[in-house]
């Protein structure tokens, strides 16, 4: 059975001390309140990761993720961070292809395919983000966009490699806007993604893939979203910066 996951994406928020205190609060609340098999992932800025990994040691309900990694193994790329460096501080996941990276840093499906390969080679599990813009949805192109993001970004992998991925559907129009996709809209796309995976690999691979929803997800709308058969959890932005909200979203799977 596929894993239920709630991942927090802190984006470029919280200085070092703020990040450490938020993470300590989250760990304590999870210890007291989370009773199911769901996994929490915190994707903090790079600066925090090593210390957060120390705090999380020996605790299996919470893992860490980076928000990006470079496509090259190492070398003359001033200011960049490699997958190997991230892995070396005890981080298990990396977000790849977030719409903010596609939009502000020009990341293409082709580049993301390389980043995915390098992450996997270094034993980092990608949380691979896909999703259409408002314009694309209004032009009724959302299924085509999702299809090509998957085909060009991750469908070059073999089934064993693909099995290490988490997919996150984040409609760009729902990110940070307070407008959530309705549970029916999200379910429709999640089912489509799972169908594409089944066609490319097998029904078994599709059934085993965790597919997260992201975009203005909060403790109020999470129960209905997560009750959909193909929604296996969430990728949470704003609400992951509040320990109470993040843990309440996680507790939907208790």
Question: Site for ligand 13P (CB under 6 A): which residue of 26, 112, 236, 249?
Answer: 236
CA–CA distances in Å: residue 3 to residues 31, 78, 204, 210, 212: 19, 37, 14, 6, 10
Q: Give 96's strand partners.
A: 128
Task: Report which of 121, 235, 219 is spatially closest to residue 174, judged by C-alpha positions.
Answer: 235
Q: How far apart are CA 216 and CA 181, in angstroms?
A: 8
Contacts to ligand 13P from residues 141-160, by CB under 6 A: none
First vs last Cα of the chain: how many Å apart?
16
Question: Site for ligand 13P (CB under 6 A): which residue of 4, 5, 6, 9?
Answer: 9
Give 68 or 118: the residue with its C-beta nearer to ligand 13P.
68
CB under 6 A: which stretch of 18-26, 103-111, 202-210, 215-223 binds ligand 13P? 215-223
Shortest distance, position 7 Cβ to ligand 13P, whole Å = 8
Q: How far apart are CA 165 and CA 239, in angstroms?
A: 24
CB under 6 A: which stretch of 52-60, 199-207, 212-220, 243-251 binds ligand 13P? 212-220
Q: Give 9's strand partners.
A: 43
CB under 6 A: which stretch of 32-40, 74-82, 104-112, 235-243 binds ligand 13P? 235-243
CB 167 within 8 A of CB 193: yes
Question: Site for ligand 13P (CB under 6 A): which residue of 39, 132, 136, 170?
Answer: 170
Q: How far apart are CA 67 and CA 14, in angstroms?
A: 14
* E strands present in 10-50: 39-43
* 214 interacts with ligand 13P by CB under 6 A: yes
* 112 interacts with ligand 13P by CB under 6 A: no
- Quickly list H helices, 77-212: 83-88, 99-104, 109-121, 134-138, 142-153, 159-162, 183-200, 203-208
Catalytically annotated residues: 98, 170
* 107 interacts with ligand 13P by CB under 6 A: no
Number of residues that bind ligand 13P (CB under 6 A): 14
Shortest distance, position 201 Cβ to ligand 13P, whole Å = 25
CB under 6 A: which stretch of 49-57, 106-114, 202-210, 237-245 binds ligand 13P? 237-245
Shortest distance, position 95 Cβ to ligand 13P, whole Å = 7
* 250 interacts with ligand 13P by CB under 6 A: no
Please give the residue ranges that form the binding site for ligand 13P (CB under 6 A).
9, 98, 170, 175-176, 214-217, 235-239
């Amino acid at each position: 059975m596929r894993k239920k996951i709630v991942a927090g994406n802190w984006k470029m928020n919280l200085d070092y001390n703020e990040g450490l205190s938020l993470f300590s609060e989250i760990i304590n609340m999870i210890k007291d309140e989370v009773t199911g098999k769901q996994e929490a992932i915190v994707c903090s800025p790079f600066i925090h990761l090593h210390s957060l990994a120390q705090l999380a040691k020996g605790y299996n309900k919470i893992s860490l993720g980076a928000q990006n990694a470079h496509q090259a193994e190492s070398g003359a790329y001033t200011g960049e961070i490699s997958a190997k460096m991230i892995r070396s501080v005890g981080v298990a996941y990396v977000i790849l292809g977030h719409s903010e990276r596609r939009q502000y840093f020009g990341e293409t499906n082709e580049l993301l395919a390389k980043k995915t390969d390098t992450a996997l080679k270094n034993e980092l599990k990608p949380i691979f983000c896909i999703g259409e813009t408002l314009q694309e949805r209004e032009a009724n192109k959302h299924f085509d966009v999702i299809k090509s993001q998957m085909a060009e970004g991750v469908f070059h992998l073999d089934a064993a490699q693909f099995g290490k991925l988490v997919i996150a559907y984040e409609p760009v129009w729902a990110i940070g806007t307070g407008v959530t996709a309705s549970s029916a809209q999200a379910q429709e796309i999640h089912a489509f993604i799972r169908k594409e995976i089944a066609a490319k690999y097998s029904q078994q691979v599709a059934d085993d893939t965790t597919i997260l929803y992201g975009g203005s997800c909060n403790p109020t709308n999470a129960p209905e979203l997560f009750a959909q058969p193909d929604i296996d959890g969430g990728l949470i932005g704003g609400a992951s910066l509040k320990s109470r909200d993040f843990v309440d979203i996680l507790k939907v799977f208790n």
